[in-house]
Amino acid sequence: MKRKIRNGISIFIILISLFAAIPSGVLAEDISTEDENVLLETNTATQAETEIQQSDVNQITDSEADQADQVNTSGVSIEVTLSETGSLKSDVSKKMISMGISKYEQITSLKINAGPGVKVTTGFIHDTLVNLRKIDLSNVTETSVTSFQRCENLEEVIFQDGAILSEEMFENCTSLKSIDLSNVNPNLGKGLFYNCSSLEEVTLPYGATLSYDAFGNCTSLKSIDLTNVNPLIRSRAFENCTNLEKVVLPQNTVLTGDTFNNCVKLDDLNFEAIASFDHWDTIVRNCAFDFTQGYPVSTWTDALVIQTNFGQIPKVYFSLEKNTYQINVGDSFTLPKPIFKTKSGTNYSDLEKYKNLYDSWLDQDTSYLNKMTYKTTIKHEGQAVNSIDTSIPGNYEITYNLLSTTNADCHTLTCNVTVIPGYSISKFTADKPSGQVTNSAINLTAAATAGEAPYQYKFYYRLNNSTVVLKDFSSVNTATFKPTTAGTYSLFVDAKDNSGKTCTKNISDYVIKNDVPENISCSYRTHVQNVGWQDWKTDGTMSGTSAQGLRLEGIEIKLDNQGNDLGVEYSTHIQNIGWQDFKSNGTMSGTSGQGLRLEAIKINLTGNDADKFDIYYRVHAQNVGWLDWASNGAESGTAGLGYRLEGIEIKVTPKGDPAPGATANPFIKSKLLMIQDELEGTWISEASYVKYVLIENHYTEYIDNRTPRSGSYSLIEKPDGKIVIDFDCYSAPIYSDITDAESLSDGVITIANFKFYRSK
């Protein structure tokens, strides 16, 4: 009887525990009726668990309890795999139950896996997963994403290559700051980022189409490079981007109405890339352009500007024939007067003849000549003065402020006048910087000016209160300084003109050091896989391992500079990262705790004495062995092969001494990179070109018979080892197999019906 009671109590406890494991929020509120089958399966499983013995209950581990605590906190990441018959909401709900998550609001990161034939629709995301910050679609084979509209907390989206994006996909995603679309389908829908008020950076796919309202109201966007997008840019693409300052357009751009309307800070646009446009008055309405020196489009005229009301574009500007003057002390000088013109080149004095044309922006009852006035201010070495006194040398700055009651901007001109003092030495230089060693030959050069020619020069130096003449007065304006004693020198030159006037100039604190030692000691140590940091090695001793297959993961290098101005910097090429920034003087280059191999290294000497030494280094690479010695910043190791570095040797030698060994092959590249090097440069074709561009609802034909036309290329390595060149010429890519780099050396590639030549 007691056993039956104990068993009954055990079953009751188990049922209570299992029922408690089902989140109340899910049962009561968050999981919709479409998930009733999920709950039914859970209840069935609960009934089956009644057979579990009390001993099984005692086997619940601490780690399982910890996991339950973890999933009930905010900020949960989940991953679901969709089937052809399932739905995203149902699968998310099942995952929530299995993880003990009670509310959709807890989910901040979602990864979706979906194989061929399974399409993902995201309608319930923006309505239900209101706190979602990240979504990963990299394992979705057929992406048919409807929208992330109104996902106000969304910060990161990862797409599978070739993903197709829908119209208005990111509309009102107000937390989205950056996104990489470089590998998605280039046919982007309209309103893609409309009202993404935090968007600062976006990477677009090659050939991307910018449709209507693409970046409308993206008020945090400051600049964007559209060099590689489709040249047809639809209406309102950047309307109301109120912080946009710079846009780089693709060549042969076609713009339509309101493209940059109300981009109030936009003042940097490559107008020369524009092939066609309509409604200029709306395209650049309320922008910050200041075309004070002429219109950027040759077809613009004063009449057109006035007719279409360009807003901030001034109708009259003024300029100076020269902005800088240089005169000698005592010369006469008259302040230059500004020249007034209109945009089309009409002279200031002719404005009265064009009264009908300019009535719209000048007061009709006032003489135009009286409208163009200015105020002049003068400063001498930064201090305000009333006029230029040519008896006082120095720099004078003249400022002209346009005073106008027209709707033209008020412009400012500046003119600099330099009054050169009397006879002086304008130049005294040494051909080597301070810090040379004893017995170095240092050439001194001087030049006098504003005196009575011919001139004579005397060179001398001072050290420890002693004066030594290098060369007495002569017509030769050079001398050689070859010090034998270390110390801090002052170098002098006296110049005497034909009338006997003499002036002096000097170079102070010129340091001479003792001869450099024959050898500089270099110490280095490496971080090795499964070993950690090894002991320091010096002067050509190997650091790393041999025949153990262990990768180098980090390196530190330092010098005993023995009193020289000498340091060392080094950069490593790291698996999955590439070249790191240069580190120096014992700082680690590489990674720690990430299991990433070093693949190549560059080492340089730094400091004023770097030109007196060479630094040599060689590496032991996987599947290759010891490579030849590299030196002074050259690459050592491999590229594009995925080989690890296993060992390294480093030595510093006096400049010009023989290398420690062979230097022919310190670096090995993959075949793909070798061909890339052969292709380096610009390629052009001799073909004519006909292109049709759809504008609004009609076709416009562009025929370009210029020779040549340019194209761009990329390389693809096939599984069989062949290299394919994808040459993107005009409107469609063309392909060709390349078997080796040598076949490209003549600078001619024939692909399809085009023959491409390397541009000189």
Q: Given pLDDT bands bounded at 50, 70 and 90, which one contains residue 337?
A: confident
CA pair distance 342, 348, nearest whole angstrom = 8
Helix 88-99 to helix 36-48 angle (10° resolution) is 30
- pLDDT exceeds cutoff 60 at 184: yes
pLDDT 10s digits, 451-489: 788 999 999 999 988 999 999 999 999 999 999 998 999
Q: Among the ranges 189-193, 336-340, 367-371, 626-630, which has the highest mean pLDDT value? A: 626-630
Q: Which of 664, 659, 638 is nearest to 649 (CA)?
A: 659
The Cα-based distances of 206 to 180, 226, 712 in angstroms read: 12, 10, 11
CA pair distance 585, 573, nearest whole angstrom = 18
Name the more confident of 313 and 133.
133
pLDDT 10s digits, 650-660: 999 988 789 99
| 155 inside domain | no
| 615 inside domain | yes
**657 shares a domain with 548:** yes
- pLDDT exceeds cutoff 70 at 145: no
**The pLDDT of residue 760:** 47
CATH of the domain at 176: 3.80.10.10
**706 shares a domain with 634:** no
CA pair distance 650, 557, nearest whole angstrom = 9
Name the more confident of 278 and 158.
158
Q: Which of 434, 425, 531, 450 is nearest to 489 (CA)?
A: 434
676 in Cβ contact with 715 (< 8 Å): yes
Question: Residues 6 or more apart from 132 whose CB is under 8 A from it?
Answer: 107, 108, 109, 110, 125, 151, 153, 154
| 458 inside domain | yes
Residue whose entry in the numeric block shows the structure tokens 């990430």? 594
- pLDDT exceeds cutoff 70 at 245: yes
| 543 inside domain | yes
Q: Which of 97, 80, 95, 83 is nearest to 27 (CA)?
A: 97
**481 shares a domain with 438:** yes
**652 shares a domain with 535:** yes
Task: Report the Cα 241 to chain-centroid distance in Å.
Answer: 21
**The pLDDT of residue 520:** 85
Mean pLDDT of 598-617: 93
**The pLDDT of residue 353:** 53
Q: Given pLDDT bands bounded at 50, 70 and 90, which one contains residue 148?
A: confident
Residue whose entry in the numeric block shows the structure tokens 């399409």? 119
- SS3 label, residue 132: coil
**246 shares a domain with 191:** yes
**The pLDDT of residue 285:** 73
- pLDDT exceeds cutoff 90 at 420: no
CA pair distance 244, 193, nearest whole angstrom = 15
**459 shares a domain with 581:** no
Element housing 97 (H / E): helix 88-99
**645 shares a domain with 527:** yes
**324 shares a domain with 282:** no
Rounded to two decimals, what is the model's pTM? Answer: 0.38
Q: Given pLDDT bands bounded at 50, 70 and 90, which one contains residue 447?
A: very high
Print the SS3 string covering 698-741. Answer: EEEEEEECCCCEEEEEEEEECCCCCEEEEEEECCEEEEEEECCH
Mean pLDDT of the chain: 77
- SS3 label, residue 45: helix
**The pLDDT of residue 25:** 38
Q: Given pLDDT bands bounded at 50, 70 and 90, which one contains residue 751?
A: low
682 in Cβ contact with 751 (< 8 Å): no
Residue at a domain's end among 405, 420, 435: 420
**The pLDDT of residue 451:** 79
| 79 inside domain | no
**653 shares a domain with 542:** yes
**The pLDDT of residue 189:** 83
- pLDDT exceeds cutoff 50 at 1: no
Question: Residues 6 or more apart from 147 whose CB is under 8 A from it?
Answer: 122, 123, 126, 166, 168, 169, 171
CATH of the domain at 352: 2.60.40.10
CA pair distance 355, 3, nearest whole angstrom = 114
Question: Residues 6 or more apart from 152 whose CB is under 8 A from it?
Answer: 130, 172, 173, 174, 175
Rg (CA), the chain: 38
**The pLDDT of residue 176:** 94
Q: Which residues pair with 401 in a beta bridge?
A: 375, 412
Q: Which of 241, 236, 234 is nearest to 217 (CA)?
A: 241
Residue at a domain's end among 458, 490, 513: 513
Name the more confident of 356 and 444.
444
Mean pLDDT of 76-101: 87
- pLDDT exceeds cutoff 70 at 156: yes
**655 shares a domain with 735:** no
Residue at a domain's end among 367, 390, 420: 420
457 in Cβ contact with 445 (< 8 Å): no
The Cα-based distances of 14 to 1, 45, 53, 55 in angstroms read: 20, 12, 9, 11
**727 shares a domain with 684:** yes
Peptide bond into 666 cis (omega under 30): no
| 565 inside domain | yes
CA pair distance 483, 470, nearest whole angstrom = 11
Q: Given pLDDT bands bounded at 50, 70 and 90, which one contains residue 724?
A: low
Residue whose entry in the numeric block shows the structure tokens 């040494």? 430
| 81 inside domain | no
CA pair distance 310, 301, nearest whole angstrom = 12
Q: Which two tokens stand for residue 636?
A: 């050592």
- pLDDT exceeds cutoff 50 at 42: no
**711 shares a domain with 653:** no
CA pair distance 700, 693, nearest whole angstrom = 5
Work out the angle at residue 609's Cα, subtended by the Cα atoms of residues 605 and 615, and round it to the nearest 5 degrees.
30
**The pLDDT of residue 264:** 84
Name the more confident of 600 and 639.
600
Q: Which two tokens stand for residue 535?
A: 């002991």
360 in Cβ contact with 406 (< 8 Å): no
Q: What percent of the chain has pLDDT over 90?
A: 38
Q: Which residues pair with 81 in a beta bridge?
A: 113
CA pair distance 118, 80, nearest whole angstrom = 13
pLDDT 10s digits, 105-126: 899 999 988 887 777 776 778 7
Residue ranges making up the domain that contains 320: 316-420
| 401 inside domain | yes
Mean pLDDT of 360-381: 64
CA pair distance 84, 79, nearest whole angstrom = 17
Mean pLDDT of 735-753: 55
Q: What domain count does the chain have?
A: 5
